[in-house]
Structure 1
């Protein structure tokens, strides 16, 4: 079995909107997700989330706090996914889809106007529930 550790980022702009990416590739192609990805060997979790955000969106961010964790166990795919999701502070840059092979688009959403849960990637759901409840 493969165990994959990943990170995700809840990014809010000055208007309190949350940045989501529309996944183009599996897993969960066609679903909205927070930016994030796999942790590289010997990389800290916080470094990974900052790197992934910059690679995917061109934004620079600083970690504020751990928001939640998410775990997906998929015996049918022989994998176990563990994601640590952080609240991050947006510190610079303009959002750009820097990985068009992975994402169809980027979009800012008001917390009360997020896509329906059925259109949100599984690992992002709890984080976005927490954001919407704030």
Structure 2
């Protein structure tokens, strides 16, 4: 029996913007989503998120907290389920670097949070919802820490 695959997504915010990558590979090739990928055996969720963020964007960050999880289903053309991913969102804090697409990303860019609802921006499922939740938590953490 095939089981879901655990993966992380790195939610990184800076000055009212969120970092997204345009995916090169399925699922959701060509769509914008969070940098992320599969968790390696023995790797923590936080370490996986930071590693994937660096591999896909060149940005160095620290993991702050796990804040939500979403399902991602990959179906073939006939509707048969190929993969089921459980994406665990990790709030990260920027340390250094500028977005530069790498690994399996076609592009990497900062987007204003309010632009995510725009019809002309092809987002992966749940990206807007997760980004808004992450931005709210990020804002609360920044306020609490005096940033």
SS of the equivalent of 1:9 reads: strand
SS of the equivalent of 1:119 reads: coil
Q: Is the 8 A contact 1:72 1:80 kept in 2?
A: yes
Query: CA offset at residue 90 of structure 1?
Result: 0.3
Q: Is the radius of gyration larger for structure 1 or structure 2? A: 2
Distance 1:78 1:50 in 2: 27
**Root-mean-square deviation over aligned CA pairs:** 2.2
Residue pairs, 1:95-134, within 5 angstroms:
95-99=99-103, 102-114=104-116, 116=118, 119-122=122-125, 124-131=127-134
Q: Is the 8 A contact 1:2 1:78 kept in 2?
A: no
Matched, 1:90 2:91: no
| 1:80-111 C-alpha deviation (Å, 9 max, x unpaired) | 21111011100112221122xx2221111111
| 1:13-38 C-alpha deviation (Å, 9 max, x unpaired) | 2x221111111221111210011110
SS of the equivalent of 2:56 reads: helix
The equivalent of 2:13 in structure 1 is 12
The TM-score normalised by the length of structure 2 is 0.77
Structure 2 unaligned blocks of 5 or more: 140-147
**Residues 60-69 or 32-41, more deviating:** 60-69
Residue pairs, 1:21-100, within 5 angstroms:
21-73=21-73, 76-99=80-103
Distance 1:97 1:74 in 2: 23
The TM-score normalised by the length of structure 1 is 0.84
Q: Is the 8 A contact 1:31 1:121 kept in 2?
A: yes
Distance 2:130 2:101 in 1: 22
Q: Is the 8 A contact 2:46 2:65 kept in 1?
A: no
